[in-house]
Structure 1
Amino acid sequence: MNLTRRIARPMLASVFVADGVDALLHPDAHVAQFKKVTPLLEKAGLPPVLTSDAKMLTRVLGGVTAVSGLMLATGRNPRSAALTLALVNVPLTVVNNPVWAANGPQQRKQFSSGLLRGVGLGGGLLLAAKDLAGKPSWGWRWSNAREHAVEVREARAAAKAKYKG
């Protein structure tokens, strides 16, 4: 792993680890934020089953976020961890920054800034999920192996033909 990845992954993951641990240990503040946007989410089509136990949902998402953040920070399945964080980041960013429910221009500015920050983190996570750490993708490896297998078969057939006769 090169130095940039060794430094950048923990930096990117730190926000998610801290938020995840906070959601696990202190879910009430997160639940209060979630309750503010629950009616709108239900109107948008979120099933009431998901909103019925907001404390448990908060803790589950907190656990997923903390574990995925630790995995990204330590380099354990970093692509899967980054993709998981990117998927979890979307609803969390929307819930934590309800621009449509802002009371005044100052709060709207604050929510807009938080929304853009969340979008930026999501972009960084998508880049981390796409990062192959200098290795070719599985698709390329597979097609390259197939090409070389054909070349090897042709070379064997040519060698057999030459020495048989």
Structure 2
Amino acid sequence: MDLLRTFARPALAAPFVVDGVDALARPKRHAEKFEKVQPVLEKAGLPPVLHSDAELLTRLTGAVSVLAGLGLATGRAPRSCAAVLAALNIPLALVNHPVWAVKGQDERKQALSELMRSVAVGAGLALSAVDREGRPSLAWQRKNRREQRAALEAAVAQVRSEYEPAPSA
């Protein structure tokens, strides 16, 4: 792992680990945030969630966040962990920064700024999810192998045609 990845992955994962531990230890505060935006989510088509289910959902989200964050930070399945965190980041950003529910222009600007920061973190996670650390994809490797095999077979056929005696009649 190069120097940039050594520092970037833990830095990208740290907020998710810290927030996940907090959600596991104190789910009520996180569930309250969720309950504030729950009516909007229900209008959008999500099924209603009971208060106890909101706390369970908070703990579950916190556990997934901690595990995926630690995996990304330590380099264990970093692409999978980054993909999980990127997917988890979408609902967390909407719940934590509900721009539509904020009153007042200054508060709305602040919420919008925080939402855009969350979107930027999600974009960084998406980039991390497709980072192959300089190695080509399996599809490219397969295609390259076929091309090399075809070129080798063509070269062998050319050499044989030049040096094999013509069949006598």
User: What is the TM-score normalised by the length of structure 2?
Assistant: 0.88
Q: How far did residue 62 of structure 1 move?
A: 0.9
Q: How far did residue 92 of structure 1 move?
A: 0.5
C-alpha separation in 1, matches of 2:105 and 2:24: 32
Match of 2:39 in 1: 39
Summarize deviations over 1:24-59 as a string: whole Å, max 9, x none: 1111100000000111101001122xx231111111
Listed as ranges, the matches of 1:4-153 within 5 Å are 4-48=4-48, 51-52=49-50, 53-153=53-153
Deviates more, 1:75-84 or 1:153-162: 153-162
C-alpha separation in 1, matches of 2:64 and 2:148: 41
Deviates more, 1:28-37 or 1:155-164: 155-164
User: What is the TM-score normalised by the length of structure 1?
Assistant: 0.90
Task: Count residues in correspondence.
Answer: 163
Q: How far did residue 156 of structure 1 move?
A: 4.1
Deviates more, 1:107-116 or 1:35-44: 107-116
The unaligned stretches of length 5 or more in structure 2 are none
SS at match of 1:134: coil
Which residue type is aligned with residue 105 of structure 1?
Answer: Q
Which residue type is aligned with residue 143 of structure 2?
Answer: S
Q: How far did residue 147 of structure 1 move?
A: 0.8
Which residue type is aligned with residue 82 of structure 2?
Answer: A
Which residue type is aligned with residue 10 of structure 2?
Answer: P
Q: How far did residue 112 of structure 1 move?
A: 1.2
Structure with higher Rg: it is 2
SS at match of 2:103: coil
Deviates more, 1:92-101 or 1:146-155: 146-155
Which residue type is aligned with residue 79 of structure 2?
Answer: R
Q: How far did residue 151 of structure 1 move?
A: 2.1
The share of aligned pairs that are identical, in percent, is 51
SS at match of 1:136: coil
